[in-house]
Amino acid sequence: MKSLERVNQFYLLKQLPKATALLCKKGILLDASCSWLGIFSLPPQNETIDTKVFQLYPEISNLKKKLKEQKPFTVHHKIENTRETRHFKSYFAPWFDEKENVIGTIIQTDDITSEVEKEEQLNWLTNVLETKVEVSKTGWWEYSVEKDELLWCKETKRIHQVPDCYEPTTIEAIDFYKIGYCQNKVSMLFHKAIANHQPYDTKVMLVTFTGEERWVRITGKPFVKDGKISKVFGTIKDIHDKEIAETRVKEHQQLLSTLVDSLPLNVYVKDLESRKVLVNKGECNYFSKNADELIGKSDFDLYKDKEAQISRNEDIQVMKHLTPMIGKETVSKLNGKTTYFLTSKIPYFDLEGKVCGLIGMSLDITSLKKKEEQLRNLITVTSRQNQKLISFAHIVSHNLRSHSANFSMLLEFLKAEKDMEERKQIITMLNRASDNLLETMENLNQVVDINTKSPEIKKPIDLKYTISQALYNLSDYLKSNDAQIINNVAENIEVSCVPSYLDSIIGNLISNAVKYKNPDRTPIITINAIKSKEKLLLSISDNGMGIDLNKHGDKIFGMYKTFHKRKGAKGFGLYLIKNQIEAMGGSITVQSEVDKGTTFNVYFNEEN
């Protein structure tokens, strides 16, 4: 039964055209194709023959270990006899039964003798070809180790500027190189080629027979057989003109690089895909990266997509239409910082006149933009101050004229009046007019001081504490009017402000909120504050009478402007605090609706 099963399993195997063998898990040959048996000169296998595969592959010491790993692998081996050497490649793979259990190994072997011979022949031809190419371009020399003889070709002698009959020794040949570094280097390389079989290729300075110094490139290659060197073959080529030209180019490149790096500009060169291929020091400093980190990067690697796409569109326009972009103002945002540039881009052409990229130059004009903004603000402030001066002059003229007319009229009455009681009454009126004039003069002086004196120094002030102090000072007034205060200002918020101005601003806005309360409801005053990096917003809202902004909006901060018939209303408080706020670089706005309430928003400038 076992014999019958063996025939059924392996009958087709023997006829396979590809050399194939089956092994059991112990590495014993079960059966093989006739072609496989023929490779190893083995007889047909039967139950009485136990051929171990390890004997057939003596050069593979770890074959048993590899078979136990049950993984596919390939080995190269050869079979030698007196007539020939044949090369083979055997592929080992696990052999599975119908239940996917490994029951042995399958071997398939290919004869690769012809491929190996062709590869060896190709290597030989390649070496011959490389040697011929080397020799055809330059002079050659050959040193015989056994004979201690050095042979120069005609080209080699021409490079050394010696006669054709000159026959040098190795010592004389080495002496042709410039004394010092070059001569020592050639001597060391030649010694290593003989002693350590190391080839060499270097450039050194040669001093010719006539005393001329010239750069040459020399090579040396030892020929070794059976571990023994027989000769050294080498070449020599005059590269003096090329070396001098390269040195000059490097000097010019260094000069150009130094010049470009010294420019107060960001300079870069991009390829057709807008990748940077060259950057100067200014560009590196802007990105805080070295040149190697920027080369090959596009704007999409360095900026956000929207900004990068704008730059890419500019690049395409310049390279496609060959139209330079000169002095365009651009904005760059990097790491949260905004920089303004004056950017120029011009097409970059290769030696054939084809566009191969662009050259870009960007001048940082951020400081100029800030100065421009400062100048614009100065012009705005000056214009506003001029307007305020004109308005102030009108107010002074009007008020003084009113007081003057009142005094003149009362004095005329006093002259004409004979009745003593009437005269006393007129004198009382004159005293009241004098007091009003003094109050007006004090108000005008306050405004003059704010706008003409040297700016007072702003200090960091605890906003909530200052509000609390103002509320305490107004406590009787607030209590008598049943006013409710909602103070939403957070702890530890500081505002950069002139202390006396802040007291005046808070006091005036809170007292006005109570003064112009709606008589039909309890006054509620809400105080809020929001702080950002550059500004602080203080909002004071009330539920009072409100103001018709359509009617009075342009007069709300005018001097002596009142909009409700309230006793004691003078219309000076809002005018005063507006001047104080603007003197500190801030601003004030108002939102109001009649019979609903008013909100004043004060924007404090946190910068000094």
Let me know if residue 535 belongs to a domain: yes
- E strands along 294-354, which residues? 325-334, 337-349
Instruction: List the single range of 216-220, 310-314, 450-454 with lowest mean pLDDT.
Output: 450-454
Which letter does DSSP use for residue 607 in this model?
Answer: -
What are residue 214's DSSP bridge partners? Answer: 206
Q: What is the per-residue pLDDT for 118?
A: 92
For the residues 413-422, what does the mean pLDDT come to? 75
Residue 587 lies inside a defined structural domain of this protein: yes
Question: Would you say residue 211 lies in a domain?
Answer: yes
Partner residues linked to 77 by β-bridges:
88
Indicate the pLDDT class of residue 336, thresholds 50, 70 and 90: confident
SS3 for 418? coil
Range of the domain at 526: 459-605
Average pLDDT score over residue span 540-559: 75
Tokens linked to 272: 């057709």
Query: Do 426 and 543 fall into the same domain?
Result: no
What is the DSSP track for 510-569?
HHHHHHT--TTS--EEEEEEEE-SSEEEEEEEE-SS---HHHHGGGTTSTT---S--TT-
**CATH for 229:** 3.30.450.20
Among 7-11, 60-64, 433-437, the range scoring the smallest mean pLDDT is 7-11
Which of 94, 111, 128 is the endpoint of a domain?
Answer: 111
What is the predicted pLDDT for the residue at 528?
93
pLDDT surpassing 70 at residue 451: no
Q: Do the beta carbons of residue 603 and residue 535 sit within 8 Å?
A: yes
Q: If pLDDT is split at 50, 70 and 90, which confidence band does 31 have?
A: confident
For residue 427, give both structure tokens. 């004198």
Long-range contacts, stretch 572-576, CB < 8 angstroms, 24+ apart: 572/443, 573/508, 573/511, 573/512, 574/508, 574/512, 575/447, 576/443, 576/446, 576/447, 576/450, 576/504, 576/508
| Mean pLDDT for the chain overall | 83
| pLDDT, tens digit, 9 for 90 and up, residues 341-357 | 999 999 999 988 999 99
Mean pLDDT, residues 307-328 = 92
Q: Are residues 445 and 470 in the same domain?
A: no
> Among the listed ranges 261-265, 427-431, 526-530, 533-537, which one has the minimum average pLDDT value?
427-431
546: left (phi over 0), alpha (psi -120 to 50) or beta: left
Which pLDDT score, from 0 to 100, does residue 2 have? 41
> Crossing angle for the helix pair 420-452 and 366-416, nearest 10 degrees?
170
Q: Average of pLDDT values for 541-556?
A: 77
Q: What is the pLDDT of residues 99-135, one digit of tens each?
A: 889 889 999 999 999 999 898 898 888 677 556 645 5
Q: Tokens at residue 575, please?
A: 């005018």
Is residue 237 assigned to a domain?
yes
- Stated length of the chain: 608
What's the mean pLDDT in 191-213? 94
Instruction: For residue 249, tell me if it sits in a domain.
Output: no
Same domain for 446 and 381: yes
What does pTM read for this prediction?
Answer: 0.42
Residue 75 lies in a domain: yes
Q: pLDDT grade, residue 137 (50/70/90)? A: low
Q: Give the residue-averaged pLDDT of 362-369.
A: 89
Q: Mark whether 473 and 529 lie in a shared domain.
A: yes
* Three-state DSSP class for residue 103: strand
pLDDT (mean) for 386-390: 65
Mean pLDDT on 428-443: 66
What percent of the chain is modeled with pLDDT above 70? 85
pLDDT in tens, 37-66: 888 888 887 777 788 888 888 888 888 888
| C-alpha atoms less than 13 angstroms from C-alpha of 80 in its C-beta half-sphere | 3
What is the domain count for the chain?
A: 5
